[in-house]
């Protein structure tokens, strides 16, 4: 598949990504002590419809929800359910939207209520890692350069990336090539070359503990850290440029 997008496609993704960024910002803002995850999901459904979009995640076979909502040790693919947010929870909201036929994908983690220094540093590290990954994601660089930026930032802070999960290309379908590992796999020079016009969902997925994961229950979706350590995810959809890349899912109003 040719993953380089036309200027017209990137324009549509820019508009859709901006809308999605606003929606995620709203979902994060409403996620406070006492809020039920089902209400977060309901708001996401309502807002995607209002913005003229279609949920991306319901295009994944067998997944019935608009969002993935993870709490504490849950890493990815947490299903919205009857859970009331508590003081000190770390919640990750992951959401995707199709706009004018093109997908964008974004995620962020926050602490509910009072945040202690340990959790604050943990979450800040993920945001920094995503920023560094985006900085190196330009034409002429390689996927391995993105992976290195993520791994180096996370591990230098004493945390571990989740090696079983990856970022990915995004656009005409939700999950396109190339896959973007959280760590360097072999020779960077042999990893896929980045070209102007490619659109990527760069994800920083990491844990306070060892980073090994397993299925949480028999729902077949929710993955959690094996050691039940806290986890977080930060994700943006970007368009690769020659000098710098453009973040398409900025959370602006």
Q: What is the mean pLDDT of each run of 10 residues along the chain (253 residues)?
A: 91 99 98 99 99 98 98 98 98 99 99 97 99 98 99 98 98 98 97 98 98 90 97 99 97 70
**pLDDT score of 253:** 53
**pLDDT score of 149:** 99
To the question of domain 7-247 being in CATH 3.40.50.300, the answer is no
CA 207 – CA 43 distance, rounded (Å) = 28
Rg (Cα) of the chain, in Å, rounded?
A: 17
**pLDDT score of 28:** 99
Strands 166-169 and 176-181, sheet pairing? antiparallel
Q: By C-alpha distance, which of 231, 234, 218 is closest to 79?
A: 218
**pLDDT score of 219:** 87
Tokens of 92: 């990750």
**pLDDT score of 1:** 64
Q: By C-alpha distance, which of 101, 96, 107 is closest to 19?
A: 96
């Amino acid at each position: 598949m040719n993953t380089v997008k036309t200027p017209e496609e990137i324009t549509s993704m820019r508009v859709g990504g901006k809308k999605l960024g606003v929606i995620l910002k709203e979902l994060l803002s409403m996620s406070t002590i006492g809020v039920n995850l089902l209400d977060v999901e309901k708001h996401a459904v309502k807002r995607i419809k209002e913005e003229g979009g279609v949920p991306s995640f319901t295009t994944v076979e067998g997944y019935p929800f608009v969002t993935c909502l993870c709490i504490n040790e849950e890493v990815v693919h947490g299903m919205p359910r009857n859970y009331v947010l508590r003081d000190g929870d770390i919640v990750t909201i992951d959401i995707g939207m199709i706009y004018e036929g093109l997908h964008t994908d974004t995620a962020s983690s926050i602490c509910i209520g009072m945040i202690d220094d340990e959790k604050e540093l943990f979450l800040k590290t993920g945001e920094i890692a995503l920023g560094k990954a985006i900085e190196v994601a330009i034409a002429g660089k390689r996927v391995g350069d993105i992976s290195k930026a993520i791994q180096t930032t996370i591990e230098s802070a004493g945390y571990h990336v989740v090696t079983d999960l990856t970022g990915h290309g995004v656009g005409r379908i939700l999950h396109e090539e190339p896959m973007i590992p959280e760590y360097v796999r072999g020779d960077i020079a042999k990893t896929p070359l980045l070209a102007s016009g490619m659109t990527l969902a760069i994800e920083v997925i990491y844990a306070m503990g060892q980073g090994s994961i397993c299925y949480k229950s028999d729902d077949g979706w929710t993955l959690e850290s094996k050691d039940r350590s806290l986890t977080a995810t930060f994700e943006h959809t970007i368009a690769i440029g020659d000098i710098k890349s453009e973040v398409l899912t900025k959370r602006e109003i």
